[in-house]
Amino acid sequence: MLVRPLTPSDASSFVSLRLAGLKECPASFASSYEEEAGRSLHDVERQLAAVRGQGVFGSFNGTRLVGVAGLGREHPRKLSHKAFVWGVYVAPDMRGRGVSRALIVALIEFARLEPEITQINLTVNANNELATRLYKSLGFEPFGVERNSLLVDGCFHDEVHMSLKIDRRTAS
């Protein structure tokens, strides 16, 4: 399994996988299928272009994109030390093979290369116990629950907020 940053040339594969995720698991994403389906390929290519300290990573089984995870950055100066995980999704037939773990590890390693990033935040649907366990096993700590965070098809969903501090101290 290869995990690497996606580039603009991966845009169509990214769109296909992202839309599949939004359809299958609407309560796992803040964005909706309807919002994302209307985006132009050009907009997605720009999203996948290299930007310092943020990016979208993909996991490949051969040439097939089977998993994605994004790392974004807060833009106001006072918040710029924080990055956030977004859009984690793995194709159903590839689950249980360590794809999500490999993607999140790649995001963490990528964030460690950016000296200004001191923490990575994420939110996870409170009912998604597998994802919560994965994040905890990688060092993310819960710091709150947002009740009724998402409203999907008339149903409210709570989200757990989690954070990972980036420790840059080296052993002496």
pLDDT in tens, 70-101: 999 988 889 999 999 999 999 999 999 999 99
Please report whether residue 161 resides in a domain: no
Rounded distance between C-alpha atoms, residue 5 and residue 87, angstroms: 14
Please report whether residue 134 resides in a domain: no
List, in sequence order, every residue forming a beta bridge with 146; answer none if it has no partner: 159
Q: Give the CA count within 13 Å in the CB-facing half-sphere of 133.
A: 5
Does the predicted TM-score (pTM) go above 0.85? Answer: yes
Please report whether residue 163 resides in a domain: no
CATH of the domain at 92: 3.40.630.30
Domains contained in the chain, number: 1
List, in sequence order, every residue forming a beta bridge with 124; answer none if it has no partner: 160
Please report whether residue 147 resides in a domain: no
Mean pLDDT in residue range 143-147:
97
- Please tell me whether residue 106 adopts helix, strand or coil conformation: helix
Please report whether residue 51 resides in a domain: yes
Q: Which residue has the higher pLDDT, 8 or 74?
A: 8
Q: Percentage of the chain with pLDDT > 70?
A: 97
Please report whether residue 166 resides in a domain: no
Please report whether residue 55 resides in a domain: yes
Closest CA to 119 of 94, 140, 149, 92: 140
Structural domain of residue 38, as residue ranges?
2-120
Please report whether residue 22 resides in a domain: yes
Closest CA to 74 of 124, 125, 116: 116
Work out the mean pLDDT of the chain and round it to a whole number: 94
Q: Residue 172's pLDDT band (boundaries 50, 70, 90)? A: very low
Q: What is the pLDDT of residue 171?
A: 45
